[in-house]
Structure formats: C-alpha cells, structure tokens
Amino acid sequence: MKKIILTIAIAVCSLAAFANETNVNASVLNTFSKDFAGATEVNWTSGNQFYKANFIYNAQHVTAFYSFNGEMLGLARNISSLDLPMHLQTSLKKDYGGRWISELFELSNAEGTSYYITLEQADSKLILKSEDGSNWSVYKKAVKS
C-alpha cells in the first residue's frame, strides 16, 4: 500500500503525464458520486494501477485516486504554507529560510495525512515530506539544469 501511495505522491508532485480522457468503470463512478456529491469540473485520467479524478469540491481543487475496483486510495489538495501544522511552518523558516515554495500539497489516505513541499533556490530543488505532521524529511533532491 505504501508503494501505491508513494507512486501517487510522485505522480502529483512531478505532474506525470497521464492518458487523455479516460473511460471510468461504473463502480468507480458510483463511489466517486457518493464521496463527492456536487463536485464540478471533474476530469478523469488513469495510471497503471489507479484512476485519478481532478475536480473542484467546496471551492477547492482536489485530486482523488481510486483503485480499478472503486476503492479510494487517497486524496490530494494544494494548500498554503499557512495551512501546515505550526511546527512544520517554524521548521521551514528555521531550516530552509533561503528557499521559496514552488509546490505544497496534502495527501490523505487510510494511513493518515502527509505533506509534500517543493523548495527551490536558483540552482537546486528540494522535496520534503512529513508523514507525522511534526518533522520534515528529505524526499528528493535535484540540481536545476
């Protein structure tokens, strides 16, 4: 399950290419309509092991991931740094003050809530994650070309 969640996080973080409009099976559509009644601007794509729905719900852009049999695997939504737990906010300022935030999202699933943030400098990119809401760990480092 953790490998699937990491795959989802990577897909969201790196904006991996998905196929164009997808035919979604009835089981997934039924589950989605129960979970997110009133969702608008729904756009479905698929990955190797899941369906991905991008949509607007309660005035927020949300991404939901479903298995092919209709089980929700997780939810992702972009957030502001002000929406992070206070400890994570202060840690960012203290330990990564010379960088700017280019992406920040919250990933929720059966195992809990995780945060992923991309911090940049002129020549590098750093992706951090927090699985427990209290500490950041390095998820990925990259040098800009």
99 shares a domain with 54: no
112 shares a domain with 89: yes
Q: What is the CATH number of the domain that holds 134?
A: 3.10.450
27 shares a domain with 85: no
**Residue where one domain finishes, among candidates 74, 90, 113:** 74
Phi, psi dihedral angles at 22 (to 5 degrees): -120, 145
**Residue where one domain finishes, among candidates 45, 74, 103:** 74
Q: What angle do CA 19, 48, 41 make, to 5 degrees?
A: 45
43 shares a domain with 85: no
pLDDT score at 1: 55
pTM here is 0.76
The number of distinct structural domains making up the chain is 2
Domain region containing 9: 2-74
118 shares a domain with 91: yes
70 shares a domain with 87: no
Handedness of CA 58, 85, 80, 13 (dihedral sign): negative
Q: What is the CATH number of the domain that holds 6?
A: 3.10.450.360
Report CA Rg, the chain: 16
From its phi and psi, is residue 16 left (phi > 0), alpha (psi between -120 and 50) or beta? Answer: beta
Low-confidence ranges of the chain (pLDDT < 70): 1-21
Q: Is 41 exposed, middle or buried (0-12, 13-18, 19+ CB in 10 A)?
A: exposed
